[in-house]
């Protein structure tokens, strides 16, 4: 009996020890393991696109020139930034000038680039063409004849500015004079004469806002002046028949001069523009109604 009781006591003691161990010291001897934090989602940061840059590059078998600099333009601007790189200047004079002088059957094609989201405040259909004309005017100032220069515009949606500046958004190529070049210029003359640019505005306005079709007419006039050395852009101001004739002649001249200033601002040389006033002469509508008088107060821009 005593032996049985002792064994029972030992068994109870062991069971109690196990219970207390599990209850009070279940983590004894077990190293502490920090709870793992849930993995954070890594969000890839967008990589900023690198600015595009186009070189001043020309090649025609007999003549080649290539530098990384070029004409630069602010976003939504058709005025190239100055100072112009000396490397670009050196490529134009004497190299390009001498080449075109010695090869009258060659023409320089200048293509200006633009993006669709730029604001076009120029008188040309798109900023690319306006930029090409700005570069052309620099070439002309260096005594390269405009008759050997063609200007174009091209949409470049993947162009990326460096801050607010497009680096060299202009392309160049040299080509032969087109076989039908004279016929094209004759057709252009007929087109302008048949449908000249007509502006209706008050000289008190600070600016002239052209429609898309009117901008194309400016481009046509500019191209014709480039190709025909002795041609002039004729700007004539008209009025209605109200008031004194002398006053109307003055108002007509003011309208013509205002339009001339706008054309000069957009790259047409002052010495290629002739202004005149015809006052109330040659009405296109009746002066008996306000609507008719408004149509007669106009400025007509054509070529001679």
Instruction: Give the integer Cα–Cα distance in Å for 69 and 71.
Output: 7
Range 185-303: architecture per CATH: 2-Layer Sandwich (3.30)
pTM: 0.83
Give me the sign of the Cα torsion angle 266, 103, 107, 96: negative
Burial of 43 per CB tally in 10 Å (0-12, 13-18, 19+):
exposed
Q: Supply φ then ψ for residue 276, to 5 degrees.
A: -160, 165
pLDDT tens-digit series, residues 213-238: 999 999 999 999 999 999 999 999 99
Are domains 56-177 and 185-303 of this chain identical in fold? yes
Helices (H), 72-211: 86-90, 97-102, 127-141, 181-194
212-227 vs 181-194: helix crossing angle, rounded to 10: 130
pLDDT tens-digit series, residues 33-61: 455 666 677 677 788 899 999 999 999 98
What whole-number percentage of the chain has pLDDT above 70? 86
Q: Supply φ then ψ for residue 172, to 5 degrees.
A: -130, 145
pLDDT tens-digit series, residues 87-124: 999 999 999 999 999 999 999 999 999 999 999 999 99
pLDDT at 62: 83
Closest residue by Cα to residue 69 from 189, 165, 207 = 165
Domain boundaries of the chain, sorted by first residue: 56-177, 185-303
Range 56-177: architecture per CATH: 2-Layer Sandwich (3.30)
**Cβ–Cβ < 8 Å for 70, 56:** yes
What whole-number percentage of the chain has pLDDT above 90? 81
Q: Kindly provide the residue ranges of all beta strands, DSSP E only, lying in 118-263, ordered along the sequence.
A: 149-155, 165-166, 170-176, 197-199, 233-238
């Amino acid at each position: 009996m005593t032996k049985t009781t002792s064994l029972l006591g030992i068994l109870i003691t062991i069971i109690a020890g196990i219970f207390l161990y599990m209850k009070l010291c279940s983590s004894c001897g077990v190293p502490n393991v920090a709870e793992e934090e849930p993995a954070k989602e890594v969000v890839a940061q967008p990589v900023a696109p690198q600015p595009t840059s186009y070189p001043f590059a020309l090649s025609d078998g007999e003549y080649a020139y290539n530098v990384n600099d070029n004409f630069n333009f602010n976003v939504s601007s058709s005025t190239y930034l100055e100072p112009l790189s000396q490397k670009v200047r050196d490529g134009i004079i004497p190299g390009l000038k001498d080449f075109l002088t010695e090869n009258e059957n060659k023409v320089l094609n200048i293509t200006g680039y633009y993006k669709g989201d730029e604001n076009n405040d120029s008188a040309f259909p798109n900023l690319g063409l306006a930029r090409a004309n700005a570069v052309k005017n620099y070439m002309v100032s260096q005594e390269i004849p405009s008759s050997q220069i063609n200007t174009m515009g091209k949409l470049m949606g993947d162009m990326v500015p460096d801050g607010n500046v497009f680096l060299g958004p202009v392309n160049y190529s040299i080509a032969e004079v087109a076989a039908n070049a004279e016929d094209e210029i004759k057709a252009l003359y007929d087109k302008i004469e048949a449908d000249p640019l007509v502006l209706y505005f008050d000289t008190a306005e600070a600016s002239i806002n052209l429609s898309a079709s009117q901008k194309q007419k400016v481009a046509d006039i500019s191209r014709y002046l480039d190709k025909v050395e002795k041609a002039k852009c004729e700007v004539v101001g008209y009025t209605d028949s109200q008031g004194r004739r002398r006053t109307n002649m003055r108002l007509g001249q003011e309208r013509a001069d205002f339009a001339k200033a706008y054309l000069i601002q957009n790259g047409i040389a002052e010495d290629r523009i002739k202004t005149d006033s015809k006052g109330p002469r040659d009405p296109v509508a009746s002066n008996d109604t306000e609507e008719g008088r408004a149509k007669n107060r106009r400025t007509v821009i054509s070529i001679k």
